[in-house]
């Protein structure tokens, strides 16, 4: 007993009462970090286990000062891995330390004397605990920290969310988002992805609330006995598997729960009113998807882990893969057949697949540092299409991959300021910034290339090795290359070149190649030469640094579009030649990169372009080219023309065949190209805009007829519904009278309903068109805005209306929408949705200047409320493509002067936006005459044909009668 009292007394002496966090001195004698430079923790102390107690206080806190805070205690078991450690350094942020005690586990003299712990006030977020006692390698430490945290409103860490229930009551909940650096706001921890440990959570809840976390509940006990927490319950959870801090998750809520009818491992949590109406789709597809992923990887899902999924009213990212407890925005998990669109249904199945894929790629095996986050996001993004396609095989998800992943990253990765897939990450801001389309889109494109290059079976065998050899650990890309190299088939790679060398050329170099194909039509020799592709061509070409597998299809062998046969490789700084290609004749076309498996753009000599154009414009030849490659020809040629690699006479000619085209992917690609041209011509004289509009309408009319206008059928397939939405939206955009009048009539029919919030006669897939183009005046806007305020129980409907509000018919109404996004109190637009509102205004050509003035004049307020993942910097990248004038450029430049103290990532985003505007202005000066001339000639030619057709018919009839 005496010995125990001595230990307790010594521990008491080692306990330090700490005030508000203050700046700490630079720590001496830190071990060299693994990565991240000065922002990385030393590896002298390695965590093994965490046990965490959290007591959150909401609106019914025992005292006002406790409202929307939480009391926390964390006990960390950690091992000393290096001698002469004079400091214990971990992370803590946005909290007040109450006490810190450090003891040695299993030591007869366990007390560790420490100095005053301090949390740095900079963005390193270090909690430094000076050590006075000597620590030896192999010592096991218990670090116990009591602290007070904040339930913040920044959608990060342990934060507040709320909703209004059907009784009009505001309900509060506390939820988490820890990736990349949010865990340190909920509990002091070693908050780096490679510092894995197990976690045991204990979370207190008041009556009428529940708690859910990564693991199953172990027990719930009424052990809070003080007068302020009467009837509260401690909920104890099972210990987790070994995982990173960013994957820990918990929520304190009053939601309903529904389990899968036959698989008890799966369940969905949501507001109670959604449980019966909106959860069945995600609940039913989730086990199917997980099974497909288990089959593909040949690695079973960890049997200790459940698969709970929760739909949250406020969530910064689209979803988060927390192991065993996946969090989503409501619109990405809940599907209501009366309100959800076909696009929303597709979004749900792909997002669910993405997050389930992370259970292997990210959770089981984790990148050592954020610089290679593409090892998580690239794989998950690939699977979200190609695994989801095995469950929803009518959604044409391979084509969706081209639209949503490949084409966008080909655009962004061609800019001067792009980054490589493996990039330097230091501070929290740069850790957030790498969650971009280089990690997601480009990562997925490279995974797709790898699978096709190796073949699915060898790739799957390599992935099994990668996952099993590194399970519950952390990796670099070299671990992936090693595993895949071991199952790589022979005679695939260039001679004497390793898989690592090939793949590093894609992951270490920013950008991607342009392959220029030049045919010698006399001897059937073809040259393939690479250079780096830029959105604006440089005066001196930048040599290509990639190992590029060349695949091709000839007119004689057009059935080969579905096969991936590498003909040869173009190597860095080299020209590759092919001869006698499939007996290619001089009057036959050649298309490189069938199905766009390779990550590059293709340019041809003029003769081959003309052969391709002839095929596209022939009644029999155009559909011998697959949908993906018809889209590729439009996308590549337009990008080449925009960048001054190809003339617009050829690029625009790839769109002439479109009156025969009814497929979704080529039309989506063409609309994107037309949208760029329309944005450029918006501020130009009326004649230029008219020729553009008439040309696009002329091409679009047959598609409008093919989808039967606004007339829909319950038997319409998924892609038909997507095609109809595209055709209608753009027909109305272009002023097609039938489209506009029908949208107005449908809007008014809805408007006069006695209960428009519950009885909406407009099909969900038509609503985005009708809401936008049916809104004619301020009264219509007020009606639609009121519908938004009353749609809190319909997440998909809220999203549709919010975007449509950007079609408001006056600047004042558009300003009202934007100003609603910066209200800190009682805003009708949630913080997670602010960027969507901004982009909705941007889609309206009349709203561009309104949005720009709002961005540069209200930036201080914007920073407070635009809390969605990376929203603030992405506002500049969203608006830049819409800007064309020197006046608009000046406003961005003046912004840099007005806000000189903004972080580097903000300044970089503004400078990148200015560069885009300069490119847009230069484009107009160089290309306007050619582009408008093309549209004018085609429109006038069509008018002549239309004028003479009746005359020709009359003469034909007369001639027939005469004979």
* Residues with catalytic roles: 355
CA distance 493 to 502: 8
Reduced to 3 states (helix: H, G, I; strand: E, B; else coil), residue 625 is: coil
Residues 6+ apart with CB under 8 A from 147: 71, 72, 73, 74, 92, 95, 96, 97, 98, 187, 188
CA distance 870 to 901: 18
With 0-12 CB in 10 A as exposed, 13-18 as middle and 19+ as buried, what is 812? Answer: exposed
Query: Taking each helix axis from N to C terminus, what angle separates 904-962 and 886-898, rounded to the nearest 10 degrees?
Result: 160
Inter-residue contact 419 to 744 (CB < 8 Å): no
Reduced to 3 states (helix: H, G, I; strand: E, B; else coil), residue 893 is: helix
Inter-residue contact 875 to 906 (CB < 8 Å): no
CA distance 181 to 246: 7
H/E stretch holding 76? strand 69-80
H/E stretch holding 150? strand 140-150
Q: Which residue blocks in 685-766 are alpha helix, DSSP H? A: 686-706, 718-733, 737-751
C-alpha gyration radius of the chain: 30
CA distance 108 to 113: 15
718 appears as a binding residue in the annotation: no
Query: Taking each helix axis from N to C terminus, what angle separates 737-751 and 718-733, rounded to the nearest 10 degrees?
Result: 110
Q: Which residue blocks in 387-427 are alpha helix, DSSP H? A: 388-391, 397-401, 407-412
CA distance 548 to 449: 10
377 appears as a binding residue in the annotation: yes
With 0-12 CB in 10 A as exposed, 13-18 as middle and 19+ as buried, what is 49? Answer: middle
H/E stretch holding 272? helix 272-278
Inter-residue contact 870 to 428 (CB < 8 Å): no
260 appears as a binding residue in the annotation: no
CA distance 356 to 377: 12
CA distances from 307 to 285, 310, 325, 359, 445 (A): 13, 10, 6, 10, 28
CA-nearest of 371, 357, 546, 358 to 476 is 371
Question: What phi and psi values does residue 434 have, to the nearest 5 degrees?
Answer: -80, -5
The residues that bridge with 328 in the sheet, in sequence order, are 311, 319
Q: Which residue blocks in 470-535 are alpha helix, DSSP H? A: 477-485, 499-507
Reduced to 3 states (helix: H, G, I; strand: E, B; else coil), residue 588 is: coil
CA distance 231 to 432: 40
Q: How many helices (H) and strands (E) are present in the chain, helices listed first?
A: 30, 30
Q: Which residue do the tokens 């990212």 mark?
A: 317
CA-nearest of 821, 881, 876 to 845 is 881
Question: What phi and psi values does residue 583 have, to the nearest 5 degrees?
Answer: 55, 40
**Can you read off the two tokens belonging to residue 570?**
């173009």
Inter-residue contact 145 to 74 (CB < 8 Å): yes
Inter-residue contact 506 to 413 (CB < 8 Å): no
**Can you read off the two tokens belonging to residue 42?**
């030393």
CA distance 907 to 872: 11
Binding-site residues for Zn(2+) sit at 354, 358, 377
Annotated binding residues: 354, 358, 377
């Amino acid at each position: 007993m005496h010995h125990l009292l001595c230990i307790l007394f010594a521990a008491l002496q080692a306990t330090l009462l700490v005030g508000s966090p203050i700046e700490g001195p630079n720590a001496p004698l830190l071990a060299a970090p693994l990565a991240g430079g000065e922002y990385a923790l030393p590896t002298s102390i390695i965590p093994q286990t965490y046990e965490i107690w959290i007591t959150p206080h909401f609106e019914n806190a025992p005292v006002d000062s406790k409202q929307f805070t939480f009391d926390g205690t964390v006990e960390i078991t950690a091992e000393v891995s290096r001698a002469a450690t004079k400091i214990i350094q971990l992370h803590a942020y946005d909290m007040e330390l109450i006490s810190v005690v450090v003891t040695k586990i299993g030591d007869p003299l366990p007390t560790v004397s420490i100095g005053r712990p301090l949390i740095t006030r900079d963005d390193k977020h270090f909690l430094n605990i000076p050590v006075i006692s000597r620590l030896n390698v192999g010592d096991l430490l218990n670090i116990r920290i009591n602290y007070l945290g904040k339930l913040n409103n920044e959608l990060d860490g342990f934060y507040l969310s709320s909703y209004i229930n059907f009784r009009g009551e505001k309900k509060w909940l506390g939820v988490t988002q820890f990736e990349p650096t949010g865990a340190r706001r909920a509990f002091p921890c070693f908050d780096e992805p490679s510092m894995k440990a197990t976690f045991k959570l204990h979370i207190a809840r008041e009556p009428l609330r529940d708690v859910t976390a990564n693991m199953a509940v172990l027990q719930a006990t009424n052990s809070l006995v003080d007068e302020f927490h009467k009837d509260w319950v401690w909920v104890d959870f099972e210990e987790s598997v070994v995982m990173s801090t960013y994957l820990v998750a918990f929520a304190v809520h009053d939601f309903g729960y529904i389990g899968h009818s036959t698989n008890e491992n799966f369940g969905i949590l949501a507001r109670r009113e959604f449980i019966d109406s909106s959860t069945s789709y995600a609940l039913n597809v989730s086990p199917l998807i997980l099974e497909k992923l288990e089959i593909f990887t040949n690695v079973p899902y960890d049997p200790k882990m459940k698969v709970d999924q929760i739909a949250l009213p406020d969530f910064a990212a689209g979803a988060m893969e927390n192991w065993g407890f996946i969090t989503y925005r409501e619109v990405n998990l809940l599907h209501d057949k009366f309100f959800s669109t076909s696009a929303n249904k597709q979004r749900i199945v792909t997002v669910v697949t993405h997050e389930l894929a992370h259970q292997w790629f990210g959770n089981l095996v984790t990148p050592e540092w954020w610089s290679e986050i593409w090892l998580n996001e690239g794989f998950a993004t690939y699977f979200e299409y190609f695994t989801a396609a095995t469950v929803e095989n009518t959604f044409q998800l391979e084509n969706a991959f081209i639209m949503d992943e490949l084409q966008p990253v080909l655009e962004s990765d061609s800019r001067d300021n792009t980054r490589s897939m493996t990039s330097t990450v230091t501070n929290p801001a740069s850790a957030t910034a790498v969650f971009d389309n280089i990690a997601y889109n480009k990562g997925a494109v490279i995974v797709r290339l790898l699978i096709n290059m190796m073949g699915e079976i060898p790739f799957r065998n390599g992935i099994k090795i990668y996952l099993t050899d590194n399970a519950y650990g952390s990796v670099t890309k070299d671990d992936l290359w090693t595993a895949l190299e071991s199952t790589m088939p022979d005679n695939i790679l260039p001679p004497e070149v390793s898989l690592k060398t090939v793949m590093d050329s894609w992951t270490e170099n920013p950008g991607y190649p342009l392959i220029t194909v030049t045919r010698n039509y006399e001897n059937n020799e073809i040259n393939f030469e690479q250079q780096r592709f830029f959105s604006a061509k440089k005066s001196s070409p930048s040599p290509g640094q990639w190992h590029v597998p060349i695949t091709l299809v000839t007119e004689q062998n057009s059935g080969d579009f579905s096969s991936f046969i590498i003909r040869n490789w173009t190597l860095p700084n080299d020209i590759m030649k092919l001869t006698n290609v499939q007996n290619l004749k001089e009057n036959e076309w050649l298309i490189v990169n069938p199905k766009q498996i390779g990550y590059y753009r293709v340019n041809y000599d003029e003769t081959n372009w003309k052969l391709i154009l002839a095929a596209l414009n022939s009644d029999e030849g155009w559909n011998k080219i697959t949908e993906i490659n018809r889209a590729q020809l439009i996308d590549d040629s337009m990008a080449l023309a925009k960048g001054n690699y190809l003339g617009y006479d050829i690029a625009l000619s790839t769109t002439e065949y479109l009156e025969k085209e009814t497929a979704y992917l080529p039309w989506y690609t063409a609309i994107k190209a037309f949208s760029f041209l329309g944005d450029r011509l918006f501020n130009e004289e009326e004649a230029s805009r008219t020729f553009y509009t008439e040309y696009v309408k002329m091409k679009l009319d047959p598609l409008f007829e093919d989808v039967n206008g606004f007339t829909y059928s319950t038997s319409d397939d998924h892609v038909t519904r997507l095609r109809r939405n595209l055709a209608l939206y753009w027909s109305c955009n272009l002023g097609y009278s039938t489209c506009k009048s029908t949208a107005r009539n449908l809007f008014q029919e809805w408007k006069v309903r006695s209960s428009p919030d519950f009885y909406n006669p407009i099909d969900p897939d038509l609503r985005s068109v009708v809401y936008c183009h049916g809104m004619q005046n301020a009264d219509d806007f007020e009606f639609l805005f009121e519908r938004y305020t009353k749609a809190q129980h319909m997440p998909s409907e809220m999203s549709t209306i919010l975007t449509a509000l950007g079609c408001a018919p006056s600047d004042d109404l558009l300003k009202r929408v934007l100003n609603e996004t910066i209200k800190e109190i009682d805003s009708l637009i949630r913080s997670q949705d602010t960027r969507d509102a901004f982009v909705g205004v941007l889609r309206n050509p009349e709203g561009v200047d309104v949005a720009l003035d709002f961005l540069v004049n209200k930036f201080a307020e914007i920073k407070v409320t635009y809390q969605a993942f990376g929203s603030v910097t992405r506002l500049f990248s969203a608006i830049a493509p819409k800007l064309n004038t020197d006046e608009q450029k000046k406003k961005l430049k003046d912004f840099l002067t007005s806000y000189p103290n903004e972080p580097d990532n903000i300044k970089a985003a503004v400078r990148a936006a200015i560069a885009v505007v300069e490119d847009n202005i230069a484009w107009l000066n160089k290309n306007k005459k050619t582009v408008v001339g093309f549209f004018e000639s085609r429109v006038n030619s069509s008018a002549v044909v239309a004028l003479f057709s009746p005359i020709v018919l009359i003469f034909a009839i007369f001639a027939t009668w005469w004979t």
